[in-house]
Amino acid sequence: MMGPNGDLDFDVTEVILIGNSDWDRPLDGLFVYHEVAWTGAGSWTDPLYDACLEVDSSSNPWSGAGGNHVAKLAILPFTTQGISPGLPIPTPFTSWSYRERLCDNTDEGIGRCTPYGTAPGSNSGRRRLQ
């Protein structure tokens, strides 16, 4: 799981949600948390897989409406920028890292989104398929 530092939401940039074809900021652009399939210990360098949405793989994933978005399913490390990068991150942005392509390029977006472990009641984050 990933979520904010403290009790705040984190801001997301435009993504394509599963079942949709349009770029949008889901949930009014705020996630309380987000859960993905995450390998290893779920740390910031471990690869994750997000089948719920597509992120922008262009050199400016924060371009907003009218930007030159390039949709891609996320199969990548949580971040390649370190847990507390200097913000805003300059463009062009060519690193293939999840948090920076999911969140706004601000303290309220990237700055608040951190890995915080497995879902309560799960088997080290791995849930049995029924």
pLDDT at position 124 over 60: no
Please report whether residue 16 resides in a domain: yes
Instruction: Look up residue 30 and give its two tokens.
Output: 């705020």
- The model's pLDDT over 13-62, given as tens digits with 9 standing for 90+, comes to 999 999 999 999 988 899 887 888 888 877 788 889 999 999 999 999 99
pLDDT confidence bin for 130, thresholds 50/70/90 = low
Helices (H), the chain: 98-102
Higher pLDDT: 65 or 36? It is 36
pLDDT > 90 in the chain, percent: 53
State the chain's mean pLDDT as an integer: 86
Q: Give the pLDDT mean for 110-125.
A: 72
pTM summary value:
0.86
Please report whether residue 46 resides in a domain: yes
Environment class of residue 80 by beta-carbon count within 10 Å: exposed (0-12), middle (13-18) or buried (19+)? middle
Please report whether residue 124 resides in a domain: no
Number of folded domains that form the chain: 1
What sign for the dihedral angle of Cα 29, 33, 34, 40? positive
Domain that holds residue 33: 2-115
Paired sense of beta strands 37-38 and 30-31, if any: unpaired
CB contact at 8 A, 29 and 102 = no
Higher pLDDT: 47 or 103? It is 103
Please report whether residue 80 resides in a domain: yes
Please report whether residue 129 resides in a domain: no
pLDDT of residue 109: 94
Closest CA relative to residue 113, chosen from 38, 31, 23: 31
Please report whether residue 68 resides in a domain: yes
Query: Using CA atoms, how far apart are residues 35 and 30, in angstroms rounded to an integer?
Result: 14
